[in-house]
Amino acid sequence: MCGIIGYIGDRDGLEILKYGLKAVEYRGYDSVGYYDGRLVKDVGKVDDFLKKVKDVKVPFIAHTRWATHGKVSAENAHPHKVGKIALVHNGTIENYKALKEKLPYEWKSETDTEVIAALLDYYNEEDFLKTLEKVLPMLKGTYALAIIREGDPRIYFAKKDTPLLLGIGEGENFVASDLVAFLPYTNRYIRLEDGEYGYIERDKYVIKGRENIRPQTFEGDIKAAFKGEFPTFMLKEIHEQLDIVPQVLSVDVSEVREIFQTQEIDIIAAGTSYHAAWYLRYLTGFNVHPYVASEYPYLMREPKWVFAISQSGETIDTIKAVKQAKQKGAKVISLTNYVSSTLAALSDYVVPLNAGIEIGVAATKTFLAQLLFAHNLIGDKDIKGMKEAVRRGLEAPLFELTKPKIFFLGRGINYVLAMEGALKFKELTYVPAEAFPAGEMKHGPLSLFDKDTDVVFFLGPQGRELAKVNMEEVRARGANVHEVIFPDKYYELSATVFLQRLAHEHAVRWGKDPDKPRHLAKSVTVE
């Protein structure tokens, strides 16, 4: 959940550092740093950090952190330098304490990362690939690493279970945790596989054990990686939902449709993607069973088919659950925005989400695209009707939530909207907001309701009459009820856009950055 960028070439190091760090900042943003022969790092936002940077030498490696081991502090920020080795890391090393005990170093940080630098320094050999070959198997855990060794002109790298890509340019090369970190400079890239390591030079890249590698070319719209005239990525991505309807529905799902129609399928997903799993269940009535990815290993039986939903394709919980299902013999279908992701590589069938790059930490257009996939699956491709519904969601006036207790309620498929509404709201505003199925209130939660309660009630056609009864029940307890009203036709799509705007608006009003909610990151690559 940290962002990595490393560069070697002739361009101005400061320009690449600035662009690259901003591009990967969504992956983690509690501290930041770089190494270019000098070790510079601090806590705080990338923008504040960059204001103080005057020049950067090449090659450099840089990092934005989402803390796992050790508090947010300058010492714990990356890069970590031990002896001749400086490195940046995304991932977690489970056995770092045991490794530390065996090494004769004084530790400057509380991180699990510093021990990797120490090991590489301790076993440092002339041929550094041999050092990597020796040290990497000692690490129990996950890692994407970019490494500079004093006196060595290369940037070394290694990857296991968290994403790392090489950007291949003319007379320059990049290593980064996301394509967007180098897309303005080159659209040719290599997605590294688990267990791979190697190095980049200005005119050369070497991946140990892989020869004749042909880089892939990114053909997507790079403009998606910039905010343009919008104040936040999230707002831009909310508005893009109008345009993505045709492109998402153009995906051919005929092959997987047949599987959904005839097979029993476990759906594995996390967060917003998990809500999309329930949407699919309510909308299609197919024989599918949604599971939270991190819980699936405890619940799995003998699945024949699993369907993994992940916009990033890199969510570790989802990937691990899929791996375990595969071990039990399951076949895997995945729906992801990144067809070259780790998840896609594990899958028998990959359905591209086709939503375009999403930068904001909150999933918005990718959620809508996941909902549209469910419509596509049942042969519903009413592009015009869906676009009109999205437009209604974009234009509807918002209401204001002011109470200390906030609930999102709905029945049937409206409960999916309630779950997503509450998640978006708490994720962005840091105000507790909970979702319940409206009919479940009287089994306990109703005792929470009084005049200090705001309720957002989704009243789409499914279960509406009973939902209205439940709405009166909470009103009678003094709660301040806000009805989400839209025409029945694609009510859920209008309400989806509306609930995203509601969360965005309140976050901005309350001084929170919707693109970078605290403690979170876009792709969750730690367990």
Contact residues: ligand AGP, CB under 6 A:
270-273, 310-312, 315, 318, 361-363, 427, 523-524
| Residue 195 CA: distances (Å) to CA of 127, 139, 192, 321 | 18, 11, 9, 19
Task: Classify residue 510 by its DSSP letter.
Answer: T
Residue 371 CB, nearest approach to ligand AGP (Å): 13
400, 449 Cβ separation under 8 angstroms: no
Distance CA 133, CA 272 (A): 39
511 Cβ contact list (under 8 Å, min separation 6): none
Token pair, residue 474, equals 């909470």
Distance CA 193, CA 245 (A): 32
Residue 342: closest CA among 89, 208, 161, 91: 161
Instruction: Examine the residue annotation and report whether 426 is marked as an active-site residue of this protein.
Output: no
Residue 348 CB, nearest approach to ligand AGP (Å): 19
Q: Hey, which residues does 149 pair with through a beta bridge?
A: 85
In the bound state with ligand AGP, the residue whose beta carbon lies nearer, of 270 and 479, is 270
In the bound state with ligand AGP, the residue whose beta carbon lies nearer, of 43 and 507, is 507
Whether the bond into 79 is cis, omega within 30 of 0: yes
In the bound state with ligand AGP, the residue whose beta carbon lies nearer, of 429 and 523, is 523
Residue 310 CB, nearest approach to ligand AGP (Å): 3
Task: Classify residue 112 by its DSSP letter.
Answer: S
Distance CA 3, CA 20 (A): 9
Distance CA 376, CA 191 (A): 29
Strands (E), 444-499: 453-458, 480-484
In the bound state with ligand AGP, the residue whose beta carbon lies nearer, of 61 and 293, is 293
Residue 308 CB, nearest approach to ligand AGP (Å): 8
In the bound state with ligand AGP, the residue whose beta carbon lies nearer, of 318 and 453, is 318
Residue 63 CB, nearest approach to ligand AGP (Å): 21
Other Cβ atoms within 10 Å of 384 Cβ, number = 9
Distance CA 144, CA 196 (A): 10
Residue 201: closest CA among 24, 18, 58, 17: 58
In the bound state with ligand AGP, the residue whose beta carbon lies nearer, of 85 and 416, is 416
Torsion sign across C-alpha atoms 114, 117, 119, 121: negative
Residue 189: closest CA among 209, 201, 202, 205: 205
Instruction: Examine the residue annotation and report whether 326 is marked as an active-site residue of this protein.
Output: no
Nearest residue to the partner ligand AGP, using Cβ: 271
In the bound state with ligand AGP, the residue whose beta carbon lies nearer, of 427 and 505, is 427
Residue 27 CB, nearest approach to ligand AGP (Å): 12
Residue 370 CB, nearest approach to ligand AGP (Å): 8
Q: Which is the catalytic residue, given 2, 81, 236, 387? A: 2
Residue 517 CB, nearest approach to ligand AGP (Å): 8
Residue 95 CB, nearest approach to ligand AGP (Å): 26
355, 335 Cβ separation under 8 angstroms: no
Token pair, residue 351, equals 């359905």
Host H or E run for residue 217? strand 216-217
Instruction: Tell me whether strands 433-437 and 85-90 are parallel, antiparallel or unpaired.
Output: unpaired
Distance CA 486, CA 480 (A): 19
Distance CA 89, CA 75 (A): 14
In the bound state with ligand AGP, the residue whose beta carbon lies nearer, of 315 and 347, is 315
Residue 423 CB, nearest approach to ligand AGP (Å): 6
In the bound state with ligand AGP, the residue whose beta carbon lies nearer, of 159 and 516, is 516
Distance, C-alpha 431 to centroid of its chain: 21
251 Cβ contact list (under 8 Å, min separation 6): 351, 352, 353, 354, 373, 376
Q: Please list, residue by residue across 490-508, b when 16 or more beta carbons sit within 10 angstroms of its beta carbon and e when fewer do.
A: bbbbbbbbbbbbbbbbbbb
> Which residues are identified as catalytic?
2, 522
